[in-house]
Structures are given as C-alpha cells and as structure tokens.
Amino acid sequence: MIEAPDLSLSALSPFLFVFGAALVGVLVESFAPRHVRQPTQVALALVGTVGGFACTLLLAGRGEVTAAGALAVDGAGLFLQATIAGLGALSVLLFAERALDPARSAFVASAAVPAGSPRDRELLTDERVQTEVYPLATFAVGGMMLFVAANDLLVMFIALEVLSLPLYLICGLSRRRRLLSQEAAVKYFLLGAFASAFFLYGLALVYGATGTVQLAGIRQSVTDDGTGTLLVLGLGLLVVGLMFKASVAPFHTWTPDVYQGAPTPVTAFMAACTKVAAFGAILRLLYVAFGTADWTWRPLVYGIAIVSMVVGAVLGLTQTDVKRMLAYSSIAHAGFLLTGVIGLDAGTGSGLAATLFYLLAYGLTTVGAFAVVTLVRDGDGEATALAQWAGLARRSPLTAAIMTFLLLALAGIPLTSGFTGKFAVFRAAIEVGAWPLAVVALVTSAVAGFFYLRLVVLMYFSEPAEDGPSVGVPGLPTTIVLAVTVAATLVLGVVPGSVLDLADGAARLVG
Amino acid sequence: MDTVPATGLLASSWLLIALPLAGAAVLLLGGRRTDRWGHLLAIGTVTAAFVLAVLSTVELAGLDERSVGVDLFTFISTGRLDVGAGLLVDPLSMTFALLITGVGALIHVYSVGYMAHDPGRRRFFAYLNLFVAAMLLLVLGDSFVALYVGWEGVGLASYLLIAFWYTRPAAATAAKKAFVMNRVGDVGLALAIFLMFTQLGTTSYEGVFGSVGLLAGGTVTGIGLLLLLGACGKSGQFPLQAWLPDAMEGPTPVSALIHAATMVTAGVYLIARSAPLFDAAPVAQTVVVVIGAVTIMIGAVAGCAYDDIKKVLAWSTVSQIGYMFLAVGLGPVGYAAGIAHLLTHGFFKAGLFLGAGSVMHGMGDRTDMRRFGGLATRMRTTFVTFGLGYLALIGFPFLSGYWTKDAIIEAAFDRGGTSGWVLGGVAVLGAGLTAFYMTRLVLLTFFGEPRWEDGVHPHESPAVMTLPMVVLAVGSVGAGFLLVEAFPLADWLAPVFGEPEEATAHAIPPLAVSVLVTVVVALGVLTAWLLVGRREVPTTAPARVSAPVRAARAGLYADAVNEAVFMRPGIRLVRALRVVDDKGVDGVVNGIGAGLGGSSARLGRAQTGFVRSYALGMLGGAVLVAGALLAVTAG
C-alpha cells in the first residue's frame, strides 16, 4: 500500500497556472486555425504568466514544505517566482511585438526550412508567424518557477531541464541572421547538456555520500556526519551546473554568443528570467542544503565572484556589439549578485533580501535595455553594432534618453534601481566582513561603468553615420514594456523603501 | 544666557526675511510685467520689514529673557549631523535688523530717483531686495550655518550689484575682484564651521558657545583666526581690503547700502556674535586688534590721495571698519562701543554716499573731484546734509562720530601698557587723517572756484532723493548721543555681551581723550585748508609727487602685492599643475585604460566561438572548483 504524498494544491497553484497555460497552448497550436493562433497564444501566455504572478502574491506569507518534501513554499521562493512570472510576462509582450519588423515578427516563419534556401528567402517577407514560441516560453517560465522552489535535487534537475529545453529551441528561431541564431541554439544546447551532466553527476555523488536527494536530508547529514570528499566533490559539480545557468565566469563562455545570436526578445527573457531562476537555485542549494558547512564553499564563491566581476567588466570593454556588451554586463552582474550571496549569513546578514532586490531590479532594467535594442533597426533587421548607434540621440532623442537611463542603472548610478541594488549587496558583503570583495566589486563597477558610458557618449556626442539605422516606432506591447521597466528602474532608485521592506520580509528560506 | 521659544509677534520674525525675499522673487520671475510698479513693491516689502522689526524690538524689550529662538525646520539631518534652521531674536540681531531695514528702506526710496532713467531699474530693485533678505538671514540666523547661507547670499547680491552695469569692463572686473577676494575669506569661514562640526558636532550659537570650554586652546584660536579671515574678506580689512574701493563701480545707492552701511559690517557682526569664542582665544583677539589698527592707517592714508569722490569714501569706510574691528578685538569693554560706532557709521556713511550720489547725479555721473568745486550754492540740501555727515564722521563735538569714535579710542588707551598706547596713538592719528581727507573732499567738491567740464549743469536732486539724505543727516547728528548717553547701547546689548563694566581706572581721563582727539581733528582740518582750500586746484592730478603720495595713490600697493604674491605664483602653480595633470595624471589614467583594453583584447581571444574550447574552459573551471573545495576541506 503506497500512501499518497501530501499535496497542497493551493501551494502548487502558481505552477498549475503556468503549466496549464502551456499545455493548453500546445493544444491550440495543434487544433486552432492559423489566423487565430497568434492572438490566442499571446493571450494564453499572458494569462499563464500573469496568473502565476497573481497566485504567488496570494500565497505571500506561507512557509511550508509540500509534495512529499519536494517543494518549498517560502518567502524567498515566492518573491523569486513572482519576479520570474512578472519578467516572463514582459518578455511575452516583447515576443508579441508586431510593429517593428516588416514581416511582423522577430521569429522565423518555419524553423525547419534550411537557412538561405529559396524557400527561406520567400518566407523572410511572409507575414506567417511561428507561434510555438509562446507555449515554449511559458514552459520555460514554469520550469524556472519550479527551479527556485525545488527542495529536492531531483526536482531541481527536472526543473532545470524543463526550463532549458524550450530555451535551446527558441534561441534558434530568429527570423533574421538565421545561421547565427541556429549556431547559438546548438552551442547553448551542447554546453547546456554538458552543464546538466555536471549537475547530474554532482547529484549522484551527493546521493552517494548522504543517501538522500532532499535538501533537508542533505543538511541533516552534513550537520551530523561532516563533509567527506565525496560530498564536497558533489557540491562542486552541482555548483558548476548552476553557475553555468547563471552565466557566472568561468562558466560564462556561451553567454555572449548565445545572447548575440538569439532573437532579441528571447535574449531579454534569458538574461532576466534565467538569471533570477539560477540564483534562486544557488541560494537554496548553498543555504538550505549546505548552510551549516558554509566554510567549505564560501572561499570558492568568493573567488568565483571576483573572477566573474573582473571577466565581465574587462571583456565588456572591447565589445563592438550592443548585445554582446550586455552579455558581458550580465556576467559582471552575476559577480555582483554573488557578493550578495556571500553577504547571506544565518542570523545577521542582509544578503538574502539584498540579492532578491538586486535580481528584481537587474531583471527589469535588462528587459528594458534589450527592448530598446529591438527598436534600432536597419534594412537587415536590428542594428546591433556599436558603431551604428553613433549619434542616435539626434535621430531619436527619446530612445537615446531611455537607453541612457537604463545604462546608468546598469552602471549603478544613484537615483536608479541599479544603485540601490548594488548598495544593498555590497553592504551585505561588508556586514559579514567581506570588505575586500566589496572593494573589488566597486573597482569593477567603475570599469564596467566605462563601457556603459561609452555607449551613452557614442549616442550623444558622435556624428551620426550617413546610412545609419532608423529607430522603429514600437507597437503597444513594447511601449508597455519600456514604460514599465523605465518607471520601475526609476521608482526602485528614488523610493526603494517599500520594495526593500518587501524583500526584507520575504527573505526566508525553509527546508 | 538661555534662549526661550518665541511667542507673539516674535514667532513670525521669519517674515522679516520672507518679505524682501518674496519681493525679489516677484521682481525676478515677474519679468517686464512688473516694470511699472516693481520698485514700489520693493520699497513696500522693506518698509514692512522695518515696521515689523520696530514692533518686534519693542516686544523684545518688554521681555525678561531677551533672547528668543524661532525654530523653522530641520535643514540637514543625517547621522551625527543635525542642522536645524532657526532664528535667534536677541538685542544684537534686532539692532542689526533695524539698521538693515531702516537704512535699507531709505536707500530704496532714494534709488527710485537715482535709477529713474535706468532701463534695468526692476532688476536693480530685485537685487536690492535679495540683498536685504540675505543680510537679515545673516544676522537673524541661530547657527553658523544659517549665517553662512546669508553670508553667501549677500556676497551674491553684492557681486550682482557691483556688476549691475556689466557692460562696463571696469564694473565687471571689480565684481570679479570682489568675488574672488570674498571667496578667500569665505574659505576661512567655511573651515571654521567644519572645525566646529568635527570638534563639537554642532554649529548652533547656543551649542558652540556652550561648549567652548571643552575645546583645546589651540582649536579655539584656530576657529577664531579662521572666522577672522572670513570677517576680513567681507569687511574689506587688511589684507583683503583691495576689493572694496573697486566695488564703487556699482550704482551709488549700492555703495551706500552694501559697501558702507550694512554688508561690509558683517565681519564686525561675526566677531561680536562670536564673542564667547574670541574671549576664550586671546591670541585671536590680539590679531583682530592688530588688523583693525593696521587697516585704520591703510584706509586713512589711501583716502588722502584719491581724487574720485566715491573711492575716498570707500577708503574711509575701510578705515572706519578698522575702528570697529579694533573695538571688538578689545574684548568685553569694546563690543558695545564697536557696535555703536557701526550704527552711527551706518547713518553718516550712508548719508555721505547718498550725498555723493546726488552730486554725481547733478554732475552727469562724474566722480573726479578736481572737476567739481563751488557746488555749495548750487546744491544746497545736498551740501547741508553732506556737511552734517562730514562733521559726524570726523568727530565734531557732540555729533554722532564724536561719541562713538571717542569711546573706541578711550577703550584702546585703557588696554594699558605699551600696546594700549600704540593702539590709542594709531586711533588718534587715524582720526586726524580722517579729518584731513574728508575736509579735502568737502573743499574740493563744495567750495572754491567751479572747475566743471563743459556741458555740465549742476542742479539739486529731486525730493525723492534728498528726503532720505535729510533723514540720514538727522541720524548722523543725533544717533551718537542717543546710543551712548541717552539710551546706552551697552545696556541694551547686556544680554548678549554681559553687563557693561564701569572702568574704574582710566589710562587717560576721558575728558583728556576728548580734548586730545578734538585737537588732532582740528589740526587735520586746518592742514587740509592750508594745503587745499587756499590754493588753486589743478584739474588734473600732478604727476610729479613724492613717494608716499604715489604709494597712497596706489592703495599702498595692495594690488601689486596681491599680484606678486598670489596671482603670479598662482598662475605659475596652475601651469605646473597642468603639466603634471597632462603628463602624470592623464598618463596614469590612459595607462590604466590601455592596460585594461589590452587585457580585454587578450582575454577576448579565449572567446573563439568553438564549442569545444568553451567546453574545455568549463571543464577547467570545474576542475578548479573541485580542487578548491577539496583544498578547503582538507586544509
């Protein structure tokens, strides 16, 4: 007789909403006529993500472990789930933009047609659109939300795959520069598989050492028996797998290539949501499972944070492509986020709240920045070469102003959310005595600030090129995204109090 | 001395500042629409402020605790730093408020006539209102920070008004000079305030004066000297005196109000207000006295040599403020005497400037006294009022200057010892020189043969100008007696400076001092008459003159010294710094940039685009991670 595990349906409601919407999306894709698919799919994806967002809000304040110990419902998890769902909804809006590309979509009409073939050229200008991206993205959002709630290494692994597989696919769906896009997808898939293998191997080692895959069980085992070689090696491999997803150096190599090749709305989605999900899992693994043995991993994370900040900031200096530059910025920000992880200390540190706030602020700003990238276009689609952005402020002062503001936020200038976030994580690191890390973080912030400001200078003080790009007039979806992200970046910078309090109240991990 | 919360009318003393400030705002923001009635509004606000000041003073006089605090709002509150904005209404601040609003109102009225034909009249009145507001904040603030805000405010207004005719290169240059020299002083004041912050954590008068005793002697002296530097800059005292005569490029009402009666006395106010600090720092006090004495002589000597009527009056101001510095530097015996002289000086010097303005108005804006002469009959009211101001200034018995200046000279002698004799001697000599150059001025302007240029038709000024002159002349005659004998200022200011001590032993009997001074003054007048009044006055200044006269004409070479000691080395320093900046700092910065860029390019080569090398990189990273973890656990 097998007992049914306890299952709190209300605690599962965010997942049910998102995955439900995704499944219905698959059915719509199969049975609905072509002309109604796009609006239906967009609506479904929005219902799923916004519904998931609403469900997490309703769950606020809960703290329990459910589904036979496989899922944790706690403040930090819910905050991250809400962040992922919200950023996911914004990304879906970017996917749905129809006004910018002459062919009405950033996604290829038929992904199976070989790139560069006559059929492909025909389809390039066709108004047919690929609508599989919506259920795929919704699945990815669901996987990410599960990822940050997983209280069991196996569930975490499944969530990792659920979020990764759709991403590999939609990375290859760009309508323009298809070879680059497909190359990115294959690279991401291969390296992602490699990273998954690390994670799985680490899982196996941990199971071998402790006899359990549940985080609470591992914690118990670590507390009782200490750390053996097997367990430590397992921890290392798990960390490698997670750091890969979070694009932390030295596991970042895929990031620039994939960010550049993927369709820009997908890049925005990856840069924002995947980062949040990966850091959620990192926090849970390190603090719930290995929190009592933090002396083992603390020096490691310390070193990785420095490497990531330095690599991101220094390599960003010589980039000539806006999307690649933002990719290196993402790597540097991963390092800044790790300072917050270091600053998390049982009892004293404010690192958890700081990291949560940083993830929210960074995600919003990044989605906004990539949304601006989708606006600047020439005959071949998006104009992402830095040189093409010269003098943009003359062509479109508003676009340049929005981009400038978002770049300043990424650089961490006061009165933007970036400053509040950086201040919070650096302070958390200093509180636990990691001030050398904070010093490195400040120096690398300054170095990274250089390449953000270089783009600002380029936009405002350079002569526009003769055949420069034009700035598209966005439709309603992108306009909403820009308005929300800019407003949030400003509000979180000027009056961050209430959101900081919210993050502070949510800063709790059960398990 | 305890400060009590404000009640009644005193609670609204912020209106004193708000009224003229609102006037300035309306005039500046209202633009041309206010051209027609703007000056009336300006007069209205200052007059209302004067009435309010009078009523407040009456109410204050009726209180037992004559020190009233008015809390306005918290200005800065962060960490240990807590700066509240509040006002302090006490006898000293109200005395100044009365002077500022009273003389200010008169000069506003006068300016209506003086600036009648100027296209920028609205702007002029806006700046004047702004000045009055800032000056009132300076004297009414209850902390050094509030004082500093007002201090910078009057500096700004002064700069704007000196450069009022900014199309004249001389005016623009003079404004810049005043600005720069004031800045030197302001740095001193700012540093003094920072010192108070770091040492005491407060800048309120109450807090600072209450804890002077906690400070080391050196610190108090340091704060005192820095405050003195600020005071010297604002009040045109040695070694920062050279800007004041140049400031006469501004319209004459400005010279009267700002550069004679009120703003330039802010330094005296600062030192008097900081009396508890200076009383605890004898060294700083001595420096104040020395600077006062030196400045008396510089101003008096230079005043003898100039032919420009306003510049002579300006040097006279420098010299008279030297008397006030001398007085407040003498400590408790001198504070009230210094303030009394400041008040009477406010009357007669403002009157003299307005008279000079009236003369210029009649002479087509000329200022060269060698081309005046014989104006006594043409401009009767001006002559009489100017004459009364002149007599008050030189210390003619029983007029204002006689009472207040004699008190200072007496206090200087009473200091005792050699220093007392030296200071007293300087003060008496200064009085003689004052009599000389002022008599020379009056003789050149009002007596003798007319030496007017062609096309000049002197005429009396309109009533709107002469009326304020008459009022000020009455003040010049009576104020001294009122303040020293009838209603002694020392008693009124007792809550601030302590009860006046009756000096028991005088170095020289007061009567003897009076007689001595009067004789010296008479000698000065006589000399002037012998040298100037009896002779033919050449219409151009003689070129072949003795060395002392040349020195005096050059303002005792203050500008030359400034140029040689500060300006040229400064320029050289800036050039050297630029070289260091270009070669050194930029080199380092560019080097860092190039280094980062180079390493970025080199690191970037790892980004080959091949999945195999990426995978290898990840594997390497994973090996490092595993190795590091093992090393940590094993170690």
Q: Would you list the domain boundaries of chain A?
A: 9-506
Q: Radius of gyration (Cα) for chain B, nearest Å? A: 29
Chain A residues with CB-CB distance to B599 below 8 A: 314
For residue A357, the tally of other CB atoms under 10 A from its CB is 29
SS3 A71: strand
Query: Do B626 and A233 make contact, defined as CB atoms within 8 angstroms?
Result: yes
| Residue B627 distance to chain A (closest CA, Å) | 9
Mean of pLDDT values over A483-495: 92
Rounded-to-integer distance, Cα A97 and Cα A90, Å: 11
Mean of pLDDT values over B152-169: 87
Query: Do A318 and B621 make contact, defined as CB atoms within 8 angstroms?
Result: no
Query: Do B629 and A235 make contact, defined as CB atoms within 8 angstroms?
Result: yes
Mean of pLDDT values over A62-80: 88
Q: pLDDT grade, residue B362 (50/70/90)?
A: confident
Question: Is beta strand B68-78 parallel, antiparallel or unpaired with respect to B4-5?
Answer: parallel
Rounded-to-integer distance, Cα A388 and Cα A340, Å: 36
Q: pLDDT grade, residue A456 (50/70/90)?
A: very high
Q: Residues for chain A: how many in total? A: 511
Q: Is the pLDDT of residue A508 over 60?
A: yes
Rounded-to-integer distance, Cα B397 and Cα B408, Å: 15
CB-neighbour burial class of residue B211 (10 A; exposed 0-12, middle 13-18, buried 19+): middle
Mean pLDDT for all residues in chain A: 90
SS3 B84: strand
What is the structure's pLDDT at A227? 77
From B601, B611, B621, residue closest to A187, measured CB to CB: B611
What is the structure's pLDDT at A198? 95
Joined together, the tokens standing for residue B566 give 């500060």
Please tell me the pTM assigned to this model: 0.63
Query: Do B629 and A233 make contact, defined as CB atoms within 8 angstroms?
Result: yes
**Site of tokens 């032993």:** B505
Lowest mean pLDDT of B124-138, B314-328, B497-511, name the range.
B497-511
What is the structure's pLDDT at A239? 95
Joined together, the tokens standing for residue A67 give 């589904």
Q: Is the pLDDT of residue B592 over 70?
A: yes
Rounded-to-integer distance, Cα B239 and Cα B561, Å: 10
SS3 A126: coil
| DSSP percent split of chain B into helix, strand, coil, nearest 5 | 75, 5, 20
Q: Is the pLDDT of residue A37 over 60?
A: yes
Q: Is the pLDDT of residue B377 over 90?
A: no
3-state secondary structure A129-187: CCCCHHHHHHHHHHHHHHHHHECEHHHHHHHHHHHHHHHHHHHCCECCCHHHHHHHHHH
What is the structure's pLDDT at B597? 81
Rounded-to-integer distance, Cα B77 and Cα A312, Å: 39
Q: pLDDT grade, residue A49 (50/70/90)?
A: very high
Q: pLDDT grade, residue A347 (50/70/90)?
A: low
φ/ψ of B105, rounded to 5, equals: -60, -45
Query: Do B622 and A240 make contact, defined as CB atoms within 8 angstroms?
Result: yes
Position with higher pLDDT, B12 vs B50: B50
Q: Is the pLDDT of residue B527 over 70?
A: yes
- Mutate one of A300, A301, A309 to test the B interface: name it (highest B CB count within 10 A): A300
With beta carbons less than 8 A apart as the criterion, state whether A338 and A444 touch.
Answer: no
What is the structure's pLDDT at A9? 83
Q: Is the pLDDT of residue B99 over 60?
A: yes
| Residue A59 distance to chain B (closest CA, Å) | 37
Residue A202: closest CA among chain B residues belongs to which residue? Answer: B626
Chain B residues with CB-CB distance to A233 below 8 A: 626, 629-630
Query: Do A318 and B597 make contact, defined as CB atoms within 8 angstroms?
Result: yes
Mean of pLDDT values over A389-418: 91
From A190, A240, A318, residue closest to B611, measured CB to CB: A190
Q: Is the pLDDT of residue A394 over 80?
A: yes
Chain B touched by A320 (CB under 8 Å): no
Question: Does residue B282 have a cis peptide bond before it, meaning omega lies within 30 degrees of 0?
Answer: no
Question: What percent of chain B is predicted at pLDDT more than 90?
Answer: 16
Q: Is the pLDDT of residue B412 over 80?
A: yes
Query: Do A315 and B624 make contact, defined as CB atoms within 8 angstroms?
Result: no
Residue B595: closest CA among chain A residues belongs to which residue? Answer: A314
Joined together, the tokens standing for residue A238 give 């798990």
Chain B touched by A211 (CB under 8 Å): no
Position with higher pLDDT, B413 vs A87: A87
SS3 A26: helix
Q: Is the pLDDT of residue A108 over 60?
A: yes
Residue B598: closest CA among chain A residues belongs to which residue? Answer: A318
| Residue B601 distance to chain A (closest CA, Å) | 6
Query: Do A237 and B626 make contact, defined as CB atoms within 8 angstroms?
Result: yes
| Residue B618 distance to chain A (closest CA, Å) | 5
SS3 B2: coil
Mean pLDDT for all residues in chain B: 84
Query: Do A195 and B626 make contact, defined as CB atoms within 8 angstroms?
Result: no
What is the structure's pLDDT at A148? 95
Q: pLDDT grade, residue A349 (50/70/90)?
A: low
| Most trustworthy range by pLDDT among A131-145, B208-222, B452-466, B546-560 | A131-145
> How many Å from the N-terminal Cα to the C-terminal Cα in chain B?
69
Q: pLDDT grade, residue B74 (50/70/90)?
A: low
What is the structure's pLDDT at B73? 61
- Mutate one of B612, B629, B630, B632 to test the A interface: name it (highest A CB count within 10 A): B629
Question: What percent of chain A is predicted at pLDDT more than 70?
Answer: 98
Q: Is the pLDDT of residue B368 over 90?
A: no
Residues 6+ apart with CB under 8 A from A353: A424, A500, A503, A504, A506, A507
Q: Is the pLDDT of residue A222 over 70?
A: yes
Question: Does residue A118 have a cis peptide bond before it, meaning omega lies within 30 degrees of 0?
Answer: no
From B604, B628, B632, residue closest to A318, measured CB to CB: B604
Joined together, the tokens standing for residue A354 give 């700081």
